[in-house]
Amino acid sequence: MNPAALEAAMPLDPDRAAREARKMQRSRQLLDAAARVMEREGSHAVSMQAVADEADVSVGLIYRYFGGKDELLLAVILNVLEDFASTVPAAVEAAGDDPVERLAAAFGAYCRVIERHRHATVLTYRESKSLDEAGRRRIKEYEVETTQPLVGVLRDGIDAGAFRPVEPEMVAYNLLLVAHAWALKHWYFERTLSFEDCVRNQLSLALHGLIEPRQRRRYTRFLEASERRSRPSTVAPGS
């Protein structure tokens, strides 16, 4: 019997419950501190001391809540993935039945999670090396899982004739990558685009490659965003 099962067996103890709650709160605090510290000094690797300082606690305390640095790191990363898992499907459901609307909602939600956890996202790429094989597997599997809403939306859209018959898994992962790009290449994109503009442009670009040509006219509002504002000069287009 694991602790969780035991707790479920006796849900009445208020003392136990209160302590659990405070423990959760502390965990969150530490997690947030860890996320924040890598936001500030993005260049150095994250040291336990730095996390402790950020959270205004002592180093030793972290070890009461997390088994070690690996576990803390893993927790930060999983925290992001949980945000995907709870946010994206909800956004899709709220978007109605139209496949394009649903895809737009899913992608938008995905991007917004990234924006919320921008630095934790790059952490996934930077520090996943220091995790053991089990941790890495867990992250990979969870990441694949978070793309399932996108895959579903794409598949439905294809079956409904709104999208071209592409490989949904591949396209979904491409969308994931483009979303990650906002975190990974932030120094590049922020030079010319705001977050919202970036999302709109990327979505428009993707939809141009996805939507079945005959359906185009119904979705012009999604498709216009990525066009350049200035016309391409006076050169005659007929080559």
Partner DNA sequence: ACGACAAGTAAACGTAGGTTCATTCCCCTG
Partner DNA sequence: CAGGGGAATGAACCTACGTTTACTTGTCGT
Q: Does 224 bind a copy of itself (CB under 8 A)?
A: no
Task: Give the whole-angstrom CA distance, residue 20 versus residue 226.
Answer: 49
Q: Which of residues 50-109 bind a copy of itself (CB under 8 A)?
A: none
Cβ 45 to DNA shortest distance, Å: 6
Inter-residue contact 211 to 223 (CB < 8 Å) = yes
Residue written as token pair 């924040």? 36
Q: Does 16 bind DNA (CB under 7 A)?
A: no
Dihedral sign, Cα of residue 74, residue 76, residue 80, residue 83: positive
Residue written as token pair 């030793």? 60
Inter-residue contact 189 to 182 (CB < 8 Å) = yes
The CA-based diameter of the chain, rounded to the nearest angstrom, is 79
Q: Which of residues 97-136 bind DNA (CB under 7 A)?
A: none
CB-neighbour burial class of residue 166 (10 A; exposed 0-12, middle 13-18, buried 19+): middle
Among 3, 11, 60, 232, binds a copy of itself (CB under 8 A): 232
Q: Does 23 bind DNA (CB under 7 A)?
A: yes
Residue 169 near which of DNA, a copy of itself, none (CB within 5-8 Å, type-dependent) = a copy of itself
Residue 106 or 175: the one with the smaller Cβ distance to a copy of itself is 175
Q: Which amino acid is at 89?
A: P
Where does residue 233 fall: left (phi above 0), alpha (psi -120 to 50 degrees), or beta otherwise? left
Tokens for 216, please give them: 């185009």
Cβ 49 to DNA shortest distance, Å: 6
Q: Which of residues 190-209 bind a copy of itself (CB under 8 A)?
A: 192-193, 201-202, 205-209
Cβ 162 to a copy of itself shortest distance, Å: 7
Q: Does 24 bind DNA (CB under 7 A)?
A: no
Inter-residue contact 133 to 107 (CB < 8 Å) = no
Q: Does 173 bind DNA (CB under 7 A)?
A: no
DSSP state of 89: H
Write the binding mask 26 to 65 for DNA: x where contact by CB under 7 A, - elsewhere: x-----------------xxxxxx------xxxxxx-xx-
Question: Helix, strand or coil for residue 163?
Answer: strand
Residue 160 near which of a copy of itself, DNA, none (CB within 5-8 Å, type-dependent) = a copy of itself
Question: Helix, strand or coil for residue 199?
Answer: helix
Give the interface with a copy of itself as residue ranges (CB under 8 A). Answer: 42-45, 122, 125-126, 129-131, 133, 136, 140, 144, 158-162, 164-167, 169-171, 173-174, 177-178, 181, 184-185, 187-189, 192-193, 201-202, 205-210, 213, 226-228, 231-233, 235, 237-239
Report the interface residues with DNA, using CB under 7 A. Answer: 15, 19, 22-23, 26, 44-49, 56-61, 63-64, 68-70
